[in-house]
Copies of this chain bind each other. A is one copy, B any other.
Amino acid sequence: MDGIGIVGAGVAGLHLGLLLRRHEVPVTIYSDRTAEQLSGGRLPNTVAHHHVTVERERRLGVDHWDIGEYGYFGHHHYIGGPSPLRFPGFFAAPSRALDYRIYLPRLLEDFLSRGGGFEVRPVQPADVVTLSERHDLVVIASGRGSMGTVFPRRADRSPYDTPQRRLCAGLYEGVAPTDPKGVTMSISPGHGELLEIPMYSFAGHVTALLFEAVPGGDLEELADADHDEDPAAFHKLVLGKVEQHHPTVFERIEPGRFRLTSPQDLLQGSVVPTEREDYIRLPNGRYTVAVGDVHTVVDPVVGQGANCASYSAWELGQTILADQNFDERFCRKVARRRQDRVQSTSDWTNLMIRTPPPQHLLELLGAMSEHQAVADEFTDNFSYPERQWDVLATPERTRNHLARHGIGG
């Protein structure tokens, strides 16, 4: 038996592999992509790592990007409507957004240099049993292809059957950063959100624009617009939508310079938020554990997917280090250990994309616009989704939260 097998070389697979290698556990990562393929191709996402994830990177020895240069300090909110609201919120420590085509290959290099095994080969659901007989434990850390079918969907935890947002994510030049450097979260009621993220990519410090378009709303056409067919028309369309719906971003755009940093730096699509079982028992009696998107996929609207995958990988890794009996008791420990943060991530994200938005979320946003401490707490809770859910799980919780801040009642 050969230690731990990890299917997937995304943030979950690599963080888990790096953690285990720090403790000399034999690990093999299986990926359907070579290191070169990880660094090329289309923009894979527009991920930001919040400070708990950055701290995890420090502990894994992969904190290669100086937070002073690559970090940002909070969120600039804009909520449109008849009386627009505009206010910032600050983290307790900076977040950092890196192009995963730079980030993942660098972490893979670290993993290899620390004795990790890496095999490039596609793994299908039918291959999991065979892998399980080669390793003490197989972890599925890839939601790509059909791997999701390995773990049953949890209908009780998956409230949506269709995407609640259609997505258009791209890296752009011609957008001046905010001061202080931060993400802009701009909401166009009824139409969707724009996340503007200061990101480091091949072109240097660029701007990610992630449009979260409500199906049927005025922004939806961004998810279908074809850049390559007519780049100028695409940029004009995007610019027009930003001008109309997201004025605090538009005011920093230099229209003549506004364009994608590359035709490949565009990703359009959508996500059906889905939770799946934590683990399954294979036909041979062994168990396999899900981590990351294959376990819980969330809409990117509050930038939690990668952070949650890293967290989940870390907790799984700690459980592996503490108990090397990979039976159902082990799997239940993993599930219990990560449950609150992972489910809170999912619950909170699903609340944020509900249409119409729940009244108590609007009340919280309103209070944030008037009370810096409330805005800062909401913002820092991007590192602690279970605390966010403590505030937002019910209208009573939001009311009690505001009362603790001396608001309302």
Residues on A lying within 8 angstroms of B by beta carbon are 323-325, 327, 329, 333, 336, 339-340, 389-390, 393-394, 396-397, 400
| A267 → chain B closest CB, angstroms | 35
* Selected A-B contacts with CB under 8 Å, 18 pairs: A323-B390, A324-B400, A325-B390, A325-B393, A325-B394, A325-B396, A325-B397, A325-B400, A327-B393, A327-B394, A327-B397, A329-B393, A329-B394, A329-B397, A333-B340, A336-B336, A336-B339, A336-B340
Asked if residues A390 and B336 are in contact (CB atoms below 8 Å), the reply is no
Contacts of A333 in B (CB 8 A): 340
Known: A336-B339, A336-B340, A339-B336. A389 touches B329 (CB 8 A): yes
Known: A325-B390, A327-B393, A329-B390. 4 other contacts (CB 8 A): A327-B394, A327-B397, A329-B389, A336-B339
Asked if residues B390 and A327 are in contact (CB atoms below 8 Å), the reply is no
Shortest beta-carbon contacts, A-B, top 9: A325-B397, A329-B393, A325-B400, A336-B336, A323-B390, A327-B394, A336-B339, A336-B340, A325-B396
- Who on chain B is nearest to A322 by CB? B390
Interface of A is mostly: helix
Bound state CA distance, A390 and B390, in angstroms? 32
Contacts of A325 in B (CB 8 A): 390, 393-394, 396-397, 400
Contacts of A327 in B (CB 8 A): 393-394, 396-397
| A166 → chain B closest CB, angstroms | 31
| A326 → chain B closest CB, angstroms | 10
Bound state CA distance, A340 and B323, in angstroms? 14
Bound state CA distance, A102 and B355, in angstroms? 61
Bound state CA distance, A333 and B386, in angstroms? 11
| A401 → chain B closest CB, angstroms | 9
Contacts of A396 in B (CB 8 A): 325, 327
Contacts of A336 in B (CB 8 A): 336, 339-340
Contacts of A340 in B (CB 8 A): 333, 336
Contacts of A397 in B (CB 8 A): 325, 327, 329
Bound state CA distance, A331 and B354, in angstroms? 25
Contacts of A389 in B (CB 8 A): 329
Contacts of A400 in B (CB 8 A): 324-325
| A383 → chain B closest CB, angstroms | 17
- Who on chain B is nearest to A399 by CB? B325
Contacts of A339 in B (CB 8 A): 336
| A174 → chain B closest CB, angstroms | 45
Contacts of A329 in B (CB 8 A): 389-390, 393-394, 397
- Who on chain B is nearest to A332 by CB? B340
| A283 → chain B closest CB, angstroms | 18
Bound state CA distance, A301 and B394, in angstroms? 44
Bound state CA distance, A323 and B325, in angstroms? 34
Bound state CA distance, A393 and B340, in angstroms? 25
Contacts of A393 in B (CB 8 A): 325, 327, 329
| A368 → chain B closest CB, angstroms | 19
Contacts of A323 in B (CB 8 A): 390
- Who on chain B is nearest to A397 by CB? B325
Bound state CA distance, A331 and B87, in angstroms? 35
- Who on chain B is nearest to A401 by CB? B325
| A263 → chain B closest CB, angstroms | 46
Bound state CA distance, A340 and B393, in angstroms? 25
| A403 → chain B closest CB, angstroms | 11
Bound state CA distance, A340 and B336, in angstroms? 9
Contacts of A394 in B (CB 8 A): 325, 327, 329
Bound state CA distance, A396 and B327, in angstroms? 9
Contacts of A324 in B (CB 8 A): 400
